[in-house]
Amino acid sequence: MIHFPQTYDEAISAAGELHAGGVDLQERYRRGISAGPLVDLRRLSSLKTITNTEDGSWQIGALVPLAALLRASFCQQVYPGLYQAVTHIATPQIRNVATVGGNLWQHPHCWYYRHPSFNCYRKGGQDCPARNGNHVYSVCFDSGPCIAPHPSTLALAFLAYDASLHFYGEPSRSLLEHFQPEEQNWMHQSPNSHPFCIGVQVPARRKGESASYRRVSGRALADWPLVEALARVQVEQNTIRFARIVIGGVAPVPLRLLRVEEALLGQPARREVVQEAAQLATAQAKPLPGTAYKVQLVQALVTDILQTLLPASEQD
Amino acid sequence: MIDVRVNGVAHSLEVTPTESAVEVLRDRLQLSGTKYACGSGACGACTVLIDGTPMVSCLLPAHALDGREVTTVEGIGSELHPVQKAFIACDGLQCGFCTPGYIMEGVAFYDEWQREHQGCKPSKEEVAERFSGHLCRCGAYPGMITAIREACSGAYEKEACSSPRQEARAKVTGQARYTVDIIYPEQLEGRILRSPYPHARILHLDYTKALALPGVKSVVELFSKDKTLRYIGQEIAAVAATTREIAQQALKLIDVQYEVQESVTNSLAARKPEAPQVYQFPYGQAPNAGESPLFPSKWKGNMRGPNTFFARQPGKAKRLVQQARQQASPNLLESTWTTQSVSHTAFEPHACVASWSADKTLTVHLSTQSCARMAHEIAKRWHLPLNNVQVLCEYIGGAFGSKIELTAEAIAAIELSLKTQTPVRVVLERDEELAIGGYRPAVTVELALLTGQSGNLEALSIEAYGESGIAIGSLVAGVCQSIYPGAPRNLADYDIVTHTPPGKPFRGPGGPPALWALEQSVDAMACHLKIDPLALREQWNPAPPLQELYSWVKTIPAWKDRASLQTQRGPARRGIGLATGSWLYFLQPGTQVEIKVTRGHLKVQTASQDMGNGTRTMLAQVTAQAFGLSSDQIEVQLGNSQDVPGAASSGSRTTTSFVSAIQDAAQQLQKQLLQIAKQEIHSEDLIVVPGGVASGDTFIPWPEVFAVAPDLSALGKRQKDQRRYQMPFPIKGMQIGSGSSWGVCVSEVEVDLRFGNVRVLRVWGGFAAGKIMVPTLAQNQAYGGILQGIGYALHESRQHDPLTGVMLNTNLTDYHLLGMADTPEIETYFAEQGFEYVAGGAIGLAEITTLPMAASIGNAVYHATGWRPHHLPLQPYEVLAGLSKGRL
């Protein structure tokens, strides 16, 4: 059963899992871990638009393909960190099909969740087979019960850019609110009942900010991140005036490192400052037996990425 | 209902909500050039252009094609595209299964490049980034990178291009038909029901509900007589239905009652005395995980062995090691080395299409490494005269050792076809292929190396424990028999059986784990003795082909200058490592080949096959050389079991088995042709000369003789070598000849101390396997061996749930194959001298090219960091843990 709603109202009243590009969904259905009716949003052409608003922010429709986002010239110019992050998502062919909304709401990439032989919390089960199993790719900020890292690099990037999610029939909320620990239950809802996200609004960039994204993975390209990070820093007269740093691949949601940000604010843009602040990145880490290495990686990655944003005189 | 234009033709199709575009293209429109390989968007074999944009059709819902224009490889046009020509000319392919996907991406990339950068050449990095959604299991990346760069620069705009590979055109145009592409009218689709338990007995099986499902035509049982299931994924039954989806649904309707039994799925637990025993006396028919014959051996619980067939003075070796240990000799080096299991996962999965005729003849399309032997086995199993069985495999999408035996997909297809009297196709899905399609077993090696005062090798002791699941025949210690001859050596191989799928021979079975241990130990000993590692190896084995390879290594600037890397600072550290390997020389003495003159040209026929390694091209070129013709004048027919018995494609034996047989056939045929020419021009003075026959000023080229000749044929046989074979008689048609092949790999790596990444930057691979018959293809094959070796060392690993033994990474997103961006610069060198005693002058190359790679990377990592890795693969978490513990 598949619906092709023509209006937003039809879309929210139709029963079924929302279908955007269908990349993640097609694989889940093939493996038999998802089933049921589909609500294909393709006819809602207003979801495919990108608009610039008067305050300088950009609104990106939920059905905009990732490749279209990369092609839009504003992306690289205004949000270089977002641009770099998107170039790391999946592969060029998949980015031609996969959409902004689909990427944000893709299901976790846990191999237990995706294996038809296992049950788990997310599939309505009573435990997490990964916790006592082979969880080398799981979180190192364990907040239970599920230990799968959030799969969306785009969510990490939007969080770092203080973006907001727009819903139909519900108030907008910032990514930061969206990923508050108490809000994390959204991940455990039935896939058919999550809110209908129609787009993302990204505020204007700050003057003079610089940004960088980096991930650590096994292969050079086309690999899921073991850990990933996006940082934005604004330095004025050699003083750090603004900092955003978000890490991914390590927790059920992308994590903004507020304590690192605080430690940087108002400080001189120097290597020692960055190195000391980066120490705070893993203060709240709670690794599993198999993911302690990720704590080490977060430390190294946060230090590395912040250093690349320092003035040239402070670099190696 | 969707309306879609495919290659310019309009279609209106009824599609289901979850059907994918690739199914519609392949099965409904029968455009089989588009391949289905991974089903998770990782490999790109199914790439097509949608309104000109490349997309993976396995993750594209069929209904998304509505109103779109689709271009598949068949739609590129009758003239070759510059990208296709470049792939042909640069030999950017092997088995060809992933090729159409690369071509489609290439066509789109080429068009964009022409618009934006005409006249320039894209960098290797730009190409790797653009093709990051494509994978090639054979490892033909270097040729592809060159092909794409050259095509984009405009080098292939002109008409013709030369083709080093005989069937390249068929592969780049999608015309090559593999087993998975075979569709008969009315053909049914089969799916297999598999055991959910590692150990269980089937108490009761009821498939009436499955049979009642509309579309289901038949169900057959596949379990063995003892009704015991010994691993998750073992075959229970198979269903044939009108569609794959219905067959899949029907599997759920088969009611099976199991008596679940105690199981053991990891080797540590299996070694404990209280562990449940996988096999009871008389130990049944455990399958062979290797490619050497099985020798009788002792069993103790789940342990079988030792097999010490290749040991020499093992008692003395053990005693010397024991004494040195007691005396705490500094020249004794002892260590334990472990390697992971890795899946073959050929891109064409195990597949079979079987069709019975009314007169009890059977046609079997099978993706196999030996159509000739499969025909024998099928005839035996179904009690048919051999003449009534035809096994066909014109093209094979890779195998690497996993397609040697008659396995369940074939048995299911043949049985289902027999019951339904309709053709039946059974194709494994990627998760089945990864989990039970075959794997290189994990191994634990305990190795001791003892040297004397002058650095001479005094004793070698290797005890290896292979973990081949329910299979046996691990040969790891044994493959170290010839690499450093002379000194006493204790070589003991054990199998540890568990309730897990059977391991299968994988490109040089046992070799990479053996060398991972041995060649790092030799390196460590050289460091200890403060001797150059190359000099130590030269001292330990002065075999001339090996010495030639070492002389070549000494000319490599990076090797000569490696001491300059001692002073590195910063987080990225480079290192250079070297490892040596040797491999047995296998041959098939009964190999035959037939050369015919038919319709005015030469045709070579033999019941052999080409997995992508180049057998077809080798047959054409050796025939062409014998006649002084060019290889495009030769037609080659492979993949038909009813032709004269040819070599199996395993044990690196095809080339060495064929060369002298072709030369033999050519000589006989030339005699017949000479007689015809003599009669034709009434001259008794004619003699055979290169390219034809001649007498005085008269020269008649062969094609003119063929034109007047009736249909002729000559049968050639593999000639005997001038040295006695190591194994005096053949077993299962295979024999071991005198001498061995050699390989030396030098790797340059960069280790990131912060993130634990190991990248291989450059590789130099030198190999000695006698005469190189087709240099371009030999080089490509060496690239593939080297790249598979890097994947083994750095990325690939079967991951299991510790509690249940279920394999977790059963897709190509989580099972990490090496990508184009991980491909280093590679230089190859072939030492051809020293094999003149071999009939035809060539021995096998396939396996030796992959064997020393992992060990050379281990040595390079040590050189870069001072930490010696003992466990594979070198994933970032292994490297980080190792660096923090073990830095010197």
Residues of B in contact with A129 (CB under 8 A): 801, 803
Is the entire prediction scored with pTM above 0.80? Answer: yes
Q: Is the confidence at residue B118, as pLDDT, over 90? A: no
Neighbours of B469 (CB within 10 A): 30
Rounded to whole angstroms, the Cα distance separating B464 from B504 reads: 17
Q: Mean pLDDT across the stretch A86-109?
A: 96
At which residue do the structure tokens 């309306």 appear?
B3
In tens, the pLDDT along B705-754 reads 999 999 999 999 999 999 999 999 999 899 999 999 999 999 999 999 99
* A-interface mutation test, from B195, B244, B436, B877, most A Cβ less than 10 A away: B877
Beta-ladder partners of B219: B239
Where does the pLDDT of residue B888 fall: very low under 50, low under 70, confident under 90, or very high at 90 and above?
very low
Rounded to whole angstroms, the Cα distance separating B498 from B371 reads: 31
Q: Is the confidence at residue A187, as pLDDT, over 60? A: no
Rounded to whole angstroms, the Cα distance separating B175 from B590 reads: 33
Q: Mean pLDDT across the stretch A75-85?
A: 97
The confidence score (pLDDT) of residue B281 equals 79
The confidence score (pLDDT) of residue B885 equals 81
Where does the pLDDT of residue B18 fall: very low under 50, low under 70, confident under 90, or very high at 90 and above?
confident
Rounded to whole angstroms, the Cα distance separating B812 from B387 reads: 40
Largest CA distance in chain A: 61
Averaged pLDDT score across all residues of chain B: 96
CA-based radius of gyration for chain A: 19
Beta-ladder partners of B48: B55
Where does the pLDDT of residue B886 fall: very low under 50, low under 70, confident under 90, or very high at 90 and above?
low
> With helix as H, strand as E and coil as C, how does B287-304 read?
CECCCCCCCCCCEECCEE
CB within 8 Å: B876 and A216: yes
Neighbours of B180 (CB within 10 A): 25
DSSP string across A59-115: EEETT-BHHHHHHSHHHHHH-HHHHHHHHTSS-HHHHHH-BHHHHHTPPP--TTTT-
* A-interface mutation test, from B755, B758, B795, most A Cβ less than 10 A away: B755
Of residues B64, B810, B816, nearest to A22 (C-beta):
B64
**Is B63 near chain A, with CB under 8 Å?**
yes
Measure in Å the smallest separation between the Cα of A156 and chain B Cα atoms: 20
Q: Is the confidence at residue B290, as pLDDT, over 60? A: yes
pLDDT above 70 covers a percentage of chain A that reads: 95
Q: Helices B141-152 and B775-794 meet at what angle, rounded to 10?
A: 110
Of residues A115, A222, A224, nearest to B808 (C-beta):
A115
**Is A222 near chain B, with CB under 8 Å?**
yes
Q: Is the confidence at residue B164, as pLDDT, over 60? A: yes
Q: Is the confidence at residue A249, as pLDDT, over 60? A: yes
The confidence score (pLDDT) of residue A186 equals 45
The confidence score (pLDDT) of residue B453 equals 86
| Alpha-helix residue ranges (DSSP H) falling in B572-714 | 615-627, 654-681, 702-708
Rounded to whole angstroms, the Cα distance separating B61 from A41 reads: 13
Query: Please, are residues B43 and B101 in contact by the beta-carbon 8 Å criterion?
Result: yes
Identify residue A225 by its one-letter amino acid code. P
Q: Is the confidence at residue B658, as pLDDT, over 50? A: yes
**Is B758 near chain A, with CB under 8 Å?**
no
| Least confident segment among A25-34, B419-428, B497-506, B596-605 | A25-34
Of residues A115, A220, A226, nearest to B822 (C-beta):
A220
Query: Please, are residues B52 and B108 in contact by the beta-carbon 8 Å criterion?
Result: yes
CB within 8 Å: A129 and B801: yes
CB within 8 Å: B54 and A223: no
| ipTM here | 0.96
Q: Mean pLDDT across the stretch A160-175?
A: 95
Q: Helices B141-152 and B82-89 meet at what angle, rounded to 10?
A: 140
pLDDT above 90 covers a percentage of chain B that reads: 94
Residues of B in contact with A218 (CB under 8 A): 757, 794-795, 816, 875-876
Q: Among B834, B762, B845, B849, which residue's Cα sits nearest to residue B546?
A: B834
Where does the pLDDT of residue A182 fall: very low under 50, low under 70, confident under 90, or very high at 90 and above?
low
**Is A218 near chain B, with CB under 8 Å?**
yes
Where does the pLDDT of residue B162 fall: very low under 50, low under 70, confident under 90, or very high at 90 and above?
confident
Q: Is the confidence at residue A181, as pLDDT, over 80? A: no
Q: Is the confidence at residue B311, as pLDDT, over 60? A: yes
- Strand runs labelled E in B21-166: 47-50, 53-56, 69-71
The confidence score (pLDDT) of residue A195 equals 82
Where does the pLDDT of residue A279 fall: very low under 50, low under 70, confident under 90, or very high at 90 and above?
very high
Q: Is the confidence at residue A189, as pLDDT, over 90? A: no
At which residue do the structure tokens 């727009």 appear?
A166
The confidence score (pLDDT) of residue A188 equals 46
Identify residue B214 by its one-letter amino acid code. P
Q: What are the angstrom distances between the C-alpha of A291 and each of A141, A285, B79, B293, B885? A: 9, 10, 54, 43, 17
**Is B103 near chain A, with CB under 8 Å?**
no
Where does the pLDDT of residue B282 fall: very low under 50, low under 70, confident under 90, or very high at 90 and above?
confident
Of residues A109, A112, A117, nearest to B196 (C-beta):
A117
Q: Mean pLDDT across the stretch B588-605?
A: 97
> How many Cβ pairs within 8 Å bridge chains A and B?
144
Query: Please, are residues B847 and B785 in contact by the beta-carbon 8 Å criterion?
Result: yes
3-class SS of residue A141: strand
Averaged pLDDT score across all residues of chain A: 93
Residue B11: exposed, middle, or buried by beta-carbon count in 10 A (0-12, 13-18, 19+)? Answer: middle
Query: Please, are residues B659 and B839 in contact by the beta-carbon 8 Å criterion?
Result: yes
Structural tokens at position B478: 């044994």
Beta-ladder partners of A230: A213, A246
Residues of B in contact with A114 (CB under 8 A): 811
Q: Mean pLDDT across the stretch B666-670?
A: 98
Where does the pLDDT of residue B158 fall: very low under 50, low under 70, confident under 90, or very high at 90 and above?
confident
Rounded to whole angstroms, the Cα distance separating A50 from A60 reads: 5
Rounded to whole angstroms, the Cα distance separating A186 from A32 reads: 23
